[in-house]
Structure 1
Amino acid sequence: MDTRSKAQRSFIMKSVRSRNTGPELVVRRTLHALGYRYGLHRKDLPGRPDIVMPKHKAVVFVHGCFWHGHGCPKGRLPKSRLDFWVPKIDRNRQRDRESVRLLRKSGWRVLTIWQCQTKDVESLSRKLAKFLTLRNRKNSRGSHQ
């Protein structure tokens, strides 16, 4: 049973943003601090990635743990209306997998950052730097051989 009235729940759900979320802003600030520049929400790419770095042929998705079915505590399904939530989250996960598949097929490197991973900015920074510098090392080795 939902503890909120229908009007309260509707108000809460309408306030959930899909762009410029708190976790997305943390990732963007971290990338900027590392010296990387990027574009946002490219409509011409599968899944409309949150962050796009054409120079590195890399995209970053910043997923909310609940909405994309992460296995952490924030990703737990509600106890009510499972007939609605299970198929919804499953569709989101299926759409995510398909977007990643299409992007990789087109030569893009893909990194998914989960909402819960944005709490530890140091760890997040290391993860982003590793993802982006691996490409640079591969390119520089390949061009000298």
Structure 2
Amino acid sequence: MDRLSIERRSWLMSRVKGKNTAPELVVRRIVFGMGYRYRLHSKNLPGRPDLVFWGRKKLIFVNGCFWHGHDGCRYGRLPKTRIEYWQRKIERNKMRDAENIASLEADGWQVLTVWQCELVCIERLTNILHEFIKMDDRGTDSPSQ
């Protein structure tokens, strides 16, 4: 049984944002602070990646563990009510994510997915982001201008 009324739950779910989320803003601040520049939410790429590094042909998705079904994560657990609905919804999201990533990789993009739960250790996340972004095709290690 849901502890919230149907109206309250509906209102609460309507507040969930698709972009400029708190985890995304944390990742953007880290990347910007390292000196790298990027484009946001490119409409002409599958899945509208959160951060796009056009010159490096790299992009980053920042995924919420619940909405994108992060396996083995405590934040990725399904609710106890309407289990069938949530299973279908999360599975569709996971399938769409996999299709988008496969399409992007087929076009030569390198893709990194940052999960919400990875923001617990900012130092580790910073290292992951730096290692992913730093090398371009020419083998140089400098922030893009």
Alignment partner, residue 16 of structure 1 = 16
Deviations 1:12-64 (Å, cap 9, x if unpaired)? 00111010000000000000011100000001001110110101110100000
- Percent of pairs identical after alignment? 50
Residues 86-101 of structure 1: matches in 2 within 5 Å?
86-101=87-102
Can you list the C-alpha shifts for 1:111-135, whole angstroms capped at 9, x where unaligned?
00000111211111000001112x3
* Cα distance in 2, alignment partners of residues 93 and 139 from structure 1: 33
Report which of the two has the higher share of helix: 1
Name the structure 1 match of 2:106: 105
Q: Aligned equivalents of 1:132 and 1:88: distance in 2?
A: 32
Spell out the pairing of 1:1-145 with structure 2 (5 A cutoff).
1-70=1-70, 71-133=72-134, 135-136=135-136, 139-140=138-139
CA distance in 2, matches of 1:93, 1:117: 18
Structure 2-normalised TM-score? 0.92
Q: Which amino acid in structure 2 is aligned with residue 17 of structure 1?
A: K
Secondary structure of the 1:30 match is: helix
Residues of 1 paired with 2:45 and 2:120: CA distance? 28
Q: Following the alignment from structure 2 to structure 1, what is the Cα–Cα distance between the partners of residues 31 and 59?
A: 12
> Which residue of structure 1 aligns with residue 143 of structure 2?
none
- Give the match's secondary structure for 2:55: helix
SS at match of 1:61: strand
After superposition, the CA RMSD in angstroms is 1.1
TM-score, normalized by length of structure 1?
0.92
Structure 1: unaligned runs, 5 residues or longer: none
Counterpart-to-counterpart distance in 2, 1:9 and 1:120: 31
* Equivalenced residues, count: 139
1:140, distance to aligned residue in structure 2 (A)? 2.5
- Output the CA distance in 2 between the equivalents of 1:60 and 1:84: 28
